[in-house]
Amino acid sequence: MRVIRHFLADGAPQPAAARHGDVYDPNQGTVQARVGLGDAAVLERAVAAARAAQPGWAATNPQRRARVMFEFKRLVEANMEELAHLLSAEHGKVIADSKGDIQRGLEVIEFACGIPHLLKGEHTPGAGPGIDVLSMRVPLGIGAGITPFNFPAMIPMWMFGVAIACGNAFILKPSERDPGVPMRLAELMLEAGAPAGILQVVHGDKEMVDAILDHPDIAAVSFVGSSDIAHYVYSRGVAAGKRVQAMGGAKNHGIVMPDADLDQVVNDLTGAAFGSAGERCMALPVVVPVGEKTALALREKLVPAMAKLKVGISTDPEAHYGPVVNAAHKARVENWIQTCADEGAELVVDGRGYKLQGHEEGFFIGPTLFDHVTPDMSSYREEIFGPVLQMVRAESFEDALALPSRHQYGNGVAIFTRNGHAAREFAARVNVGMVGINVPIPVPVAYHSFGGWKRSAFGDHNQHGTEGVRFWTKVKTITQRWPDGSPDGSNAFVIPTMG
């Protein structure tokens, strides 16, 4: 059976790992590879190589670093088919969705290609008599990224693209569930011209995560995953003196006003709730129709639209979505379905027990719909992360506004309406980090930043955009004077002023 090893720059042989994780084929329900789980000794090898490579990379001028990013982008595009099929084979999402995963990552690489402009500092000539003040952004040194299974291409590129362009070395710990694409991305970065040691990949579980959080030479850590683990990563990393951004879970709401175009809403909902089998932190798993009439009309249109969705293997071009990532996750989602029913919600469409001919052992779950879900239900409060849509009815605009605002998660929210005043009022008042207006999945473009509020994010900086540049650099400010002649030293003991 294929064994996936670490991508290390030192070139030394890698001994057989003491522990392994299984990489499944979600379409068949079988193990297709094993990934060696590393420890602190493996991380130390990666850090040593990064420590040796980073100073020279930081000294490389930003324009030359940008050329490496341009070449990396070209290589990823040239290998798009291979990468998409590898991603789908390990994750289960359909090929078109895998290509979207890769493309959204490449958009941040495109942003990082502008690093010469993004790293420009500030300059004040003549701030005082003969005194100039200037600032510059400098790399932190070695950064690390801990990424989830649901976007094995996009989220790593969100992290390492900006970090490396800024002059840092980067150590990536991807999910052990689907590590193939991150390994190929590291190979392509090396092929693009990045020095050995600038991008390395280590595999592991909590043991490796703790080693990353505790290592004194790793200056910053970026994380995406569940909220409990995000809080743990943030707390332990900050305690160790690191800069940390940790993105957590989500329970995104879609508010449907009475004047919304319901045909468009249903089309948006089926994609946002069930696309990628609901395994997206920006999925839309809660729909909130405002008013009884809206709820009845929406449900009447939604149920037949769900019946037309095709669940299939990841290589089926006609499938709307594929299997979930593994058996454990399938069981988790189905347990939440049972919990929601036990809590008293109406199970309108039950996706459990879905079998695909010829792939009976695959990790498939059909689209599922609940109505009459209430805010006190645990299945509403927690993230299900599967193809499950919950309908929570609201009597008024204010009631609908309060639901996402009071929820423990504050990642994304959407409102569907033709009323500009209602949309503007909602966007201004809702207590959520990313807002869509007639946009079901409001993931910002690469030159803006991604990040939620409340238990959806820990730390002061968002992902990518100029926020990413700020996270992966620190500011150095220089005050300089070039006086005429020799100073007499009469004011040597007086703090300088700009007056």
- Domain CATH number, residue 175: 3.40.605.10
Q: What pLDDT score was predicted for residue 491?
A: 62
How far apart (Å, rounded) are the C-alpha atoms in residues 237 and 211?
A: 10
Length of the chain: 499
462 in any annotated domain: yes
CATH number, domain with residue 372 = 3.40.309.10
Instruction: State whether 118 and 143 are in the same domain.
Output: yes
Rg (CA), the chain: 25
492 in any annotated domain: no
Instruction: State whether 318 and 209 are in the same domain.
Output: no
Domain range enclosing 211: 2-248+456-478
Instruction: State whether 339 and 397 are in the same domain.
Output: yes
381 in any annotated domain: yes
Instruction: State whether 389 and 274 are in the same domain.
Output: yes
Q: What pLDDT score was predicted for residue 489?
A: 56
Where is the domain boundary, 437, 465, 493? 437
Instruction: State whether 374 and 394 are in the same domain.
Output: yes
Instruction: State whether 225 and 343 are in the same domain.
Output: no
Instruction: State whether 191 and 272 are in the same domain.
Output: no
Instruction: State whether 143 and 54 are in the same domain.
Output: yes
pLDDT under 50: residue ranges of the chain:
none
Which among 113, 166, 281, 340 is annotated as catalytic? 281
Q: What pLDDT score was predicted for residue 15?
A: 87
How far apart (Å, rounded) are the C-alpha atoms in residues 189 and 200?
A: 10
Instruction: State whether 277 and 243 are in the same domain.
Output: no
446 in any annotated domain: no
Instruction: State whether 420 and 470 are in the same domain.
Output: no
109 in any annotated domain: yes
Q: What pLDDT score was predicted for residue 456?
A: 96
Structurally, how many domains does the chain consist of?
2
Q: What pLDDT score was predicted for residue 482?
A: 86
User: Is 281 an active-site residue?
Assistant: yes
Instruction: State whether 410 and 266 are in the same domain.
Output: yes
Instruction: State whether 316 and 388 are in the same domain.
Output: yes
498 in any annotated domain: no
Among left, alpha and beta (phi > 0; psi -120 to 50; other), residue 99 is alpha
443 in any annotated domain: no
447 in any annotated domain: no
